Amino acid sequence: MRGRLLLIGAGLLVLSGCGEPAATRSEPLPIPPVVKLPAAAAGGVCQVLDYSAIEKAVGTTFDVSAATSQGETSSCVLQAEQASLPDLALAMTPTSADASVFNDEAPDGGQSVKGLGKAAYRLIVAAGKDHGAGVEVCWLASDGQMISLRYTLPAGEGKPAAEAIAGKLVTLAKQIDAAER
């Protein structure tokens, strides 16, 4: 009986790999490299956004995109993988408004932007409880779309930080508008 137990014990050791030399043990597989998908991979209006062009224009690195649509409005939000803010949101919706109506409906405090679509404004947006100030650039594109590009800063960032990025966001809006034509 004792001999059988030794044989069974030896067999279990061999089956469990304890008797296997270190050189023949399987090593863990290497971790695959992280593949950074382009913003366009999210589909929808994210297809008009490019991470490197945004970084060049605005100076912020984004690497996560999400697209959605509600009715005729399509939108895309970009964020950094490790933080929810800052973020960049793009929304497009068809409109029958002309430049006159668009300008009449512009929000108080909006500053007219020249050289962007049929009519455009930029607006500094106040900080909120869980986010900093922001900048909105909105324009009436030549193809009948109303387009809004909004950059929201992290909590604690106020109007001076938003003002510093406003011109950069207008530059990005002009690039998007030119690409859409």
Contacts of 68 (CB under 8 A, 6+ apart): 44, 74, 75, 76
Average pLDDT, integer, range 153-175? 97
- Dihedral sign for Cα atoms in the order 61, 66, 70, 74: positive
Q: 19-77, pLDDT tens digit by residue?
A: 555 556 578 888 888 788 999 999 999 999 999 999 999 999 999 999 999 999 999 99
Give the residue, 85 or 36, on which the prediction is more confident. Answer: 85
Q: 96-108, pLDDT tens digit by residue?
A: 999 999 999 999 9
Judged by DSSP in three states, 62 sits in: coil
Identify the pLDDT of residue 87. Answer: 98
What pTM was estimated for this model as a whole? 0.81
Beta bridge partners, 150, equal 89, 136
- Is 39-180 a CATH 3.30.310 domain? no
Alpha-carbon distances, residue 21 vs 24, 26, 67, 142, 159 (angstroms): 6, 11, 53, 72, 66
CB-CB neighbours of 119 under 10 Å: 22
Query: Burial of 128 by CB count in 10 Å (0-12 exposed, 13-18 middle, 19+ buried)?
Result: exposed
> In the chain, which ranges are continuous DSSP H helix?
2-16, 51-58, 99-105, 159-180
Q: Where are the domains of the chain?
A: 39-180
